[in-house]
Amino acid sequence: MPQRPHTVPVTLPQPALPLADWADCYELLVPGQATTAISAAKRALGDFPAWVRALMWLRNAVVSPFGLKGSGASPGGKAEMIGSFPVISRSNEQAVLGFDDTHLDFRIVIDVRQAGELAQRVSVTTLVHRKILLGKIYIAVITPFHRLIVRTMLARLSRPVMAMR
């Protein structure tokens, strides 16, 4: 039976977003082949299921009148992207994605570390710096959806990697 993601405590401040005032972290033990943080990020966040894309479309429709960004894509399109998130930094053990907006700044931190010879522990930490009241309201409204989406996306890592044809 595949592992299910579980919550782990987060201590603030965090280097990826030192001013963060909201955070959560989910972790999963992934047996089998070794992976890097960037490849784990691509598998988890690179291609959302239809129901998540529908929620993101709804989110963008609701927040666009307030001048909030729909994604982190830069106008020049030069940033490396995973899904709708720009990659801020990357190493084999950690990938940091995210962007800053008028209401909040956020980071998604994917960490990969060995858990014995035949498994790795992958965690996804979301860090948010809520700048204004709208940021606090936004996080309060989206948190239940965020939790479901992060757990679902992280659980994708426990599935076998399909060979490219």
Q: What is the CATH number of the domain that holds 126?
A: 3.30.530
Residue 32 placed within a domain: yes
Phi and psi torsions of 16, nearest 5° = -70, -25
Residue 14 placed within a domain: yes
Residue 165 placed within a domain: no
Give the integer Cα–Cα distance in Å for 11 and 107: 15
Give the integer Cα–Cα distance in Å for 12 and 20: 7
Is residue 163 over pLDDT 80? no
Give the integer Cα–Cα distance in Å for 148 and 165: 31
Is residue 164 over pLDDT 50? no
**Could you give the percent of the chain with pLDDT greater than 90?**
49
Is residue 162 over pLDDT 70? no
Q: What is the pTM of this model?
A: 0.87
Residue 86 placed within a domain: yes
What pLDDT does residue 72 have? 56
Residue 63 placed within a domain: yes
Domain range for 27 is: 6-158
Number of domains observed in the structure of the chain: 1
CA of residue 100 relative to chain centroid, distance = 14
Residue 74 placed within a domain: yes
Residue 40's pLDDT band, with cuts at 50, 70 and 90, is very high
